[in-house]
Amino acid sequence: MRWEGQELAVTDGAALPGLQRLSGLVRSVRTPEFDGITFHEVTSKSALNKVPEASHVPFRWTVNPYRGCSHACTYCLSGYAPIGMADGSTIPLARVRPGDRVLGTRLEGLSRRLVRTQVLDHWRTSKPAFRVELDGGTSIVASGDHRFLTPDGWKHVTPAAEGEPPRPYLTTRDRLMGLRRSVVGAAVRADDALNVSYVRPMDVDLPMFDLTTGTGDFIAHGVVSHNCFARNTHTYLDLDAGDDFNRQVIVKVNVAEVLRREVSRRTWSREHVAMGTNTDPYQRAEGRYRLMPGVIEALAGSGTPFSILTKGTLLRRDLPLLQRAAEDVQVGVGVSLALLDERLHRSVEPGTPTPKARLELVRSVREAGLPCTVLLAPILPGLTDSEEHLSALVAAVADAGATGISYIPLHLRPGAREWYLGWLESTRPDLLPLYRRLYHSGSYSDQRYRDWLRARIEPHLRKYRLRDDDEDLVDDRRRPLHGRRWGPRPLPEPAPVEHGQGALF
């Protein structure tokens, strides 16, 4: 598959570190039209993904043409680099694993302090090595793209390559922020910084490793290192789409062909297939790759019912195809819409279509004669759960012609929790006590809050006849996109949590 227009860079070997777990890399592409994004085109061996039995979703199968939240491979250190662990010990970077607890830093007011954080991912690659020597004898082996914290901010080991945008980089005038005490709560102070003696190429490619952590950094060689923090707003808020110009996008260029083979097998039972449950199939790249028409045709042609959840207005392009598919199989369309406030939208969902654009998408789907459920997700405690906001949101969705509404309170899973609470601290610190009470037991909000939210939102749904009087009250993905449950497996509520004394909110 070829791109139209100029390609800035095409590399056959610039695979992401995790790509060895996928099918073969065809090539990696950058183009001016998608500034800051690299598309890694791969050929996939399978298209249908079976959902684990333990997952809290009402479907068994998904198709994801894109993997839009993969990690960049530019921030790397030698595997021997000693990493500060949460218990105060150090281990080599090569031995760190996802789930480990390490030390990172977080801004608290004007100061940066040491905190515990979780390792979300860990990988290996091979890159040209540089030696960074510090006063006092500390010697660090790193790639030229790795970043360290200085009193003047994050700086790369080396300047940008020729033809790339300029970037801050280390010189002998810089100091790397260090730690006098490796204990949680200790301040990272400029007067503890270590002077850079020199940065020299080692003229050899070496195995390099990197982490993704919840805070976006970690402690290596006693100084603060930046990690590849590829997770962004839409991921942290359980939203699948968004145009993050720093991310790497894996494109399964043969997904329709592979899917066609899979659904034509005699063993395929034509169970419902849900799309948009992981990454948005109508993100911006779909405008170029046009993978979804082939996917839709493969499913409909085999008699397989399916649904699509998106916040991408590009779905409007395929409405005629979806209309034809609906003549043969059950087709569900869902649009994700969390809020109406434009300013808040720009803060928590940067790069995604505006609320107004998504409401117009709902209208277009309905005008095409297709059902359209709107997923209000995530509902943000203290920000979008007021009576005024929920009333206006449900009214706007009903006016757009939606055939149903589902809603999900915010989930704060590992990684999401650290990012979102950090964002909240910088924008609405007054809400932090509320969130500590609601999420004191883990990823899900307190059961009492979910009950309270259900009681607040259900009257609005009934007012606009978006909920049947005899329908069970649910606040999660149990409600399907086509109006009837598509799978035999029920969706369990999260386990009840033990509560302390005192008011919840």
Cis bond before residue 378 (omega within 30° of 0): yes
Cα end-to-end distance, the chain, whole Å: 54
Could you tell me whether strands 9-11 and 153-156 are parallel, antiparallel, or unpaired per DSSP bridges?
unpaired
- Joined together, the tokens standing for residue 428 give 């609405």
∠ CA 11-276-120, nearest 5°, is 65
CA 298 to mean position of chain CA atoms: 28
Beta carbons within 8 Å of 140's beta carbon, 6+ residues apart: 77, 78, 81, 131, 132, 133, 134, 220, 221, 223
What type of residue is 16?
A: L
User: Which alpha helices (DSSP H) does 264-307 contain, by range?
Assistant: 286-289, 292-301
What's the rounded Cα separation, in Å, for the pair 250 and 267?
Answer: 29
- Joined together, the tokens standing for residue 410 give 């915010």
Q: Considering only CA atoms, give the Rg of the chain.
A: 24
- Where do the structural domains in the chain lie, given as residue ranges? 9-70+233-463, 77-226
CB 437 within 8 A of CB 505: yes
CA 463 to mean position of chain CA atoms: 34
Exposed, middle or buried: residue 419 (CB in 10 Å: 0-12, 13-18, 19+)? buried
- Joined together, the tokens standing for residue 66 give 């894109």
CB 210 within 8 A of CB 75: yes
3-state class of 438 per DSSP? helix
Beta carbons within 8 Å of 498's beta carbon, 6+ residues apart: 441
What's the rounded Cα separation, in Å, for the pair 337 and 239?
Answer: 9
pLDDT per residue as tens, the chain (505 positions): 444 444 444 444 444 444 444 446 788 887 766 655 778 788 888 899 887 664 556 778 989 898 763 322 223 455 667 888 888 888 888 788 888 899 988 877 777 888 898 887 666 666 677 888 888 677 888 888 888 888 888 888 888 777 666 888 999 999 998 776 767 878 887 777 889 998 888 776 666 777 778 787 888 888 888 764 333 322 322 222 223 323 467 889 999 999 999 999 999 999 999 998 767 899 878 888 999 999 999 999 999 999 999 988 999 999 999 999 999 999 999 999 988 988 887 766 665 788 999 999 999 999 999 999 999 988 999 999 999 999 999 999 999 999 999 888 988 865 566 667 777 877 888 999 999 899 887 778 888 999 999 999 999 999 998 864 434 333 333 344 444 333 322 333 333 333 332 333 3
CA 382 to mean position of chain CA atoms: 22
> Across 191-267, where does the E strand assignment appear?
194-213, 217-220, 223-226, 248-252
What's the rounded Cα separation, in Å, for the pair 477 and 134?
Answer: 53
Beta carbons within 8 Å of 65's beta carbon, 6+ residues apart: 251, 252, 255, 281, 286, 289, 291, 292, 295
Specify the pLDDT at position 228.
44
- Joined together, the tokens standing for residue 418 give 């650290």
Per the CATH hierarchy, to which homologous superfamily does domain 9-70+233-463 belong? Aldolase class I (3.20.20.70)
Matching CATH number, 77-226, of 1.20.1250.20, 2.40.10.340, 3.20.20.70, 2.170.16.10? 2.170.16.10
